[in-house]
């Protein structure tokens, strides 16, 4: 029976069957060995391989995907029957009813702009071809069931033929005017009967895809397109979460917009998906070739004797247009690299991501804070930039919208930045209750939602990078919470809070002005790729990605001792910085020390990393517990011999901490006696 069917099918279908048997017999075999016959199974085919094996067939799939994707599904069923027939008797194979061929266009000519446009450039000319679009899933609807095929029989000649619903006419089936049988004597029957038990139903889900905001210019509104997922593709992506950046290949078609009184009836473009590729899973793997990794290792071998000089070379590549500001650049690097997430025995997670807040004089606002925010966004694989004034609690977290009679959740800035960076400028402009909504997102890294009957928890594993102005003129005698008008619980969630005061310093002004005037001359010179001199944006991105994936630093005993002693010292003298000196500060110290170890290309947190973390925290204290006259973070510059400078700082800090240790020992002995 099967052999007769194969003789009747067109030649193209026969060549598709042969290709699948030759190149994808392993996939077919694994599908046959799966126990459930009613499931929908995907069969993945690389379009580039099909082009090499059968160019005419590949061209037909591209030019007429509506018919040929269906052809390939039929070919997969026929091929799997043939594999099933050839299987050994002891292998328990089960015949499957539904196999869908999914075409991956990665590495093929279909990745050119003509067939891979941005969502905003989709036009009528793209209709009816195999099209690929890239974007962020901002809304995912409920999974529904729809009728995908129905078989009819001609009353006159008894010819049976399948009919498929048309999306343009809202999934209605249109009967042909005359019998479609292709016989020598045409039947020309006009009456048809629906054959019982021949209806094929499919899972069906609608998602909304938005252009990635990172590739858009200023003033360009990101466009949306509706995407339809069917069968095995449903629920493969969700709005928010770590799987919401996708590349979807499918067929562009259209459907009539809903009938509304006095509203023009239009066709809305929709993409019927054939293949979905998540880009988040690829981001960790690409962009770091072996030769670049070797460059990083060689760089640290060269700076083996002066590691801090090597670290400062990397830091100078961060926001190079802003002169100096060593402390801020170090804080930005440590925040982006982050620590290691810790999960205890009970399953409680302690976040690995650090948060940073820059507090600056209004004088400093236009030149520095926003520059750092934008540069940090470029360094991160995924980033969302927003301002406090234009952000509501719903815009930052999640909003409930009604679409087609049902409620859906639409992801906000913190959810879209999951696994990346969320920059909030003008943090002080946010309303009090809007700021309160991000407490949970910053510490627990989730957002609990209960809106319109939808109760759920969304993931927000994001770094929050805030910039704010003080309330009026910054008063060093007042606590940070009074100066910034931010609550204590919110301030304690930021690992580093840097106060940038524009105090008058003639020497600093002279150095900065000569740097700015000299920029025009240096700008004309060519940048070389020598890592000892210059770290470009792309190299910095790769380096941050590399150290985050390859290093999971562990604290040594001496690092633990330094951090513990410093925390106890801060708790003793924490009258002025009470909002900051909580248990969260101890966690922050550990995170920053781990981030510094990663920055230094190590898997072990040494005393050097612990002291670097302490210096970062010290910079964010208005009154220091260790350094009596703390320098202004705005006027911090790169020193010529950082390793010598560090030796002095280490001696000073350890002296202070050893005094504490001695006093603790004496107190303990007195209590014991």
Question: How many whole angstroms separate alpha carbon 492 and alpha carbon 42?
Answer: 49
Position 282 pLDDT exceeds 60: no
Position 361 pLDDT exceeds 60: yes
Q: Which of 321, 318, 299, 319 shows the shortest CA–CA distance to 310?
A: 299
Question: How many whole angstroms separate alpha carbon 156 and alpha carbon 510?
Answer: 97
- What is the domain class of 9-115 according to CATH? alpha beta
Predicted local confidence at residue 16, as pLDDT = 83
Mean per-residue pLDDT, 547-569: 85
Question: How many whole angstroms separate alpha carbon 352 and alpha carbon 473?
Answer: 34
Predicted local confidence at residue 669, as pLDDT = 38
Long-range contacts formed by 658-666: CB under 8 A, 24+ apart: 660/565, 660/568, 660/569, 661/565, 664/568
Sheet holding 356-360, edge to edge: 383-387, 421-425, 463-468, 356-360, 496-500
> pLDDT tens digits, residue range 21-45?
888 888 888 888 888 888 888 888 8
Q: Write down the CATH number for the domain with range 130-278.
A: 2.40.50.140
Q: Which residues contact 21 (CB under 8 A, 6 or more apart)?
A: 28, 79, 82, 83
Asked if 418 contacts 445 with a C-beta cutoff of 8 angstroms, the reply is no
Q: Which residues contact 63 (CB under 8 A, 6 or more apart)?
A: 129
Predicted local confidence at residue 6, as pLDDT = 42
| Residue 552 main-chain phi, psi, to 5 deg | -125, 80
Q: Label each residue of 83-118 as H, E or C.
A: HHHHCCCCCCCCCCCEEEEEEECCCCHHHCCCCCCC
Q: What is the DSSP letter of 453?
A: T
Position 5 pLDDT exceeds 50: no
Asked if 614 contacts 625 with a C-beta cutoff of 8 angstroms, the reply is no
Question: Helix or strand or coil: residue 34?
Answer: coil
Predicted local confidence at residue 523, as pLDDT = 45
Q: Where residue 575 falls among pLDDT bands split at 50, 70, 90?
A: low
Burial code of 492-525, b = ≥16 C-beta within 10 A, e = fewer? bbbbbbbbbbbeeeeebeeebeeeeeeeeeeeee
Predicted local confidence at residue 670, as pLDDT = 41
Position 298 pLDDT exceeds 50: yes
> pLDDT tens digits, residue range 476-491?
777 777 777 777 778 8
Q: Where residue 3 falls among pLDDT bands split at 50, 70, 90?
A: very low
The more confident residue out of 17 and 220 is 17
Predicted local confidence at residue 643, as pLDDT = 76
Domain with CATH 2.40.50.140 in the chain: 130-278
Predicted local confidence at residue 663, as pLDDT = 44
Range list of β-strands (E), 501-650:
554-555, 604-605
Domain with CATH 3.30.1640.10 in the chain: 9-115
Mean per-residue pLDDT, 77-90: 79
Q: What is the DSSP letter of 79?
A: H
Half-sphere exposure of 95 (CA within 13 A, CB side): 8
The alpha carbon of 492 is separated from its chain's Cα centroid by a whole number of angstroms, namely 26
Asked if 527 contacts 534 with a C-beta cutoff of 8 angstroms, the reply is yes
Mean per-residue pLDDT, 67-74: 85
Specify the length of the chain in residues: 673
Most confident of 115-119, 277-281, 633-637: 115-119
**356-360/40-46 β-pairing:** unpaired
Structure tokens of 449? 């939602």
Mean per-residue pLDDT, 578-595: 79
**349-350/342-343 β-pairing:** antiparallel
Predicted local confidence at residue 214, as pLDDT = 65
Position 649 pLDDT exceeds 60: yes
Q: Where residue 404 falls among pLDDT bands split at 50, 70, 90?
A: low
The more confident residue out of 669 and 219 is 219
Predicted local confidence at residue 2, as pLDDT = 40
């Amino acid at each position: 029976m099967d052999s007769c069917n194969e003789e009747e099918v067109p030649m193209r279908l026969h060549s598709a069957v042969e290709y699948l048997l030759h190149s994808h017999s392993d996939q077919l075999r694994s599908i046959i060995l799966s126990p459930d016959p009613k499931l929908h199974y995907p069969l993945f085919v690389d379009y580039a391989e099909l082009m090499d094996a059968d160019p005419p067939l590949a061209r037909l799939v591209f030019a007429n995907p509506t018919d040929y994707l269906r052809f390939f599904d039929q070919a997969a069923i026929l091929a799997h029957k043939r594999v099933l027939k050839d299987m050994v008797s002891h292998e328990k194979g089960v015949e499957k009813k539904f196999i869908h061929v999914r075409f991956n266009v990665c590495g093929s000519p279909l990745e050119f702009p003509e067939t891979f446009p941005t969502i905003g450039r989709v036009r009528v000319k793209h209709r009816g071809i195999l099209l690929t679009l890239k974007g962020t899933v901002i809304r995912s609807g409920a999974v529904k069931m729809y009728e995908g095929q129905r078989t009819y029989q001609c009353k006159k000649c008894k010819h049976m033929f399948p009919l498929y619903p048309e999306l343009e006419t809202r999934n209605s089936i249109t009967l042909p005017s005359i019998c479609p049988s292709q016989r020598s004597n045409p039947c020309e029957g006009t009456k048809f009967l629906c054959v019982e038990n021949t209806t094929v139903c499919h899972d069906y889900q609608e998602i909304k895809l938005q252009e990635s905001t990172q590739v858009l210019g200023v003033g360009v509104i990101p466009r949306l397109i509706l995407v339809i997922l069917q069968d095995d593709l449903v629920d493969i992506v969700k709005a928010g979460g770590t799987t919401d950046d996708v590349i979807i290949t499918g067929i562009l078609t259209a459907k009539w917009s809903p009938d509304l009184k006095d509203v023009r009836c239009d066709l809305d473009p929709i993409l019927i998906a054939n293949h979905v590729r998540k880009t988040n899973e690829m981001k960790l793997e690409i962009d770091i070739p072996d030769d670049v990794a070797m460059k990083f290792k060689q760089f640290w071998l060269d700076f083996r004797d002066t590691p801090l000089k090597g670290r400062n070379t990397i830091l100078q590549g961060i926001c190079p247009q802003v002169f100096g500001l060593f402390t801020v650049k170090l804080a930005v690097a440590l925040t982006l690299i982050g620590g290691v997430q810790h999960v205890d025995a009970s399953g409680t997670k302690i976040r690995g991501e650090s948060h940073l807040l820059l507090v600056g004089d209004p004088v400093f606002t236009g030149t520095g804070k926003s520059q750092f925010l934008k540069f940090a966004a470029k360094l991160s694989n995924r980033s969302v930039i927003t301002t406090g004034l234009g952000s509501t609690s719903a815009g930052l977290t999640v909003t409930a919208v009604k679409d087609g009679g049902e409620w859906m959740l639409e992801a906000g800035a913190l959810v879209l930045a999951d696994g990346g960076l969320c920059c909030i400028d003008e943090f002080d402009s946010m309303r009090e209750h809007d700021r309160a909504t991000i407490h949970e997102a910053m510490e627990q890294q989730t957002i609990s939602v209960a809106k319109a009957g939808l109760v759920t928890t969304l993931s927000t594993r994001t770094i929050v990078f805030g910039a704010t102005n003080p309330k009026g003129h910054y008063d060093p005698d007042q606590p940070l919470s009074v100066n910034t008008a931010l609550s204590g619980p919110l301030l304690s969630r930021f690992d580093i809070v840097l106060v940038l005061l524009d105090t008058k310093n003639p020497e600093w002004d002279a150095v900065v002005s000569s740097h700015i005037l000299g920029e025009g001359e240096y700008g004309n010179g060519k940048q070389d790729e020598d890592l000892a001199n210059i770290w470009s944006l792309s190299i910095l991105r790769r380096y941050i990605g590399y150290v985050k994936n390859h290093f999971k630093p562990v604290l040594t005993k001496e690092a633990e001792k330094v951090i513990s002693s410093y925390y106890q010292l801060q708790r003793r003298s924490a009258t002025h910085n009470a909002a900051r000196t909580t248990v969260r500060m101890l966690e922050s110290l550990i995170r920053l020390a781990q981030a510094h170890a990663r920055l230094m290309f190590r898997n072990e947190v040494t005393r050097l990393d612990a002291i670097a973390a302490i210096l970062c925290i010290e910079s964010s204290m208005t009154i220091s517990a260790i350094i009596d006259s703390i320098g202004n973070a705005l006027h911090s510059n790169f020193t010529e011999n950082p390793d010598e400078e560090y030796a002095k700082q280490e001696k000073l800090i350890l002296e202070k901490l050893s005094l504490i240790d001695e006093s603790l020992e004496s107190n303990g002995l007195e209590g014991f006696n």
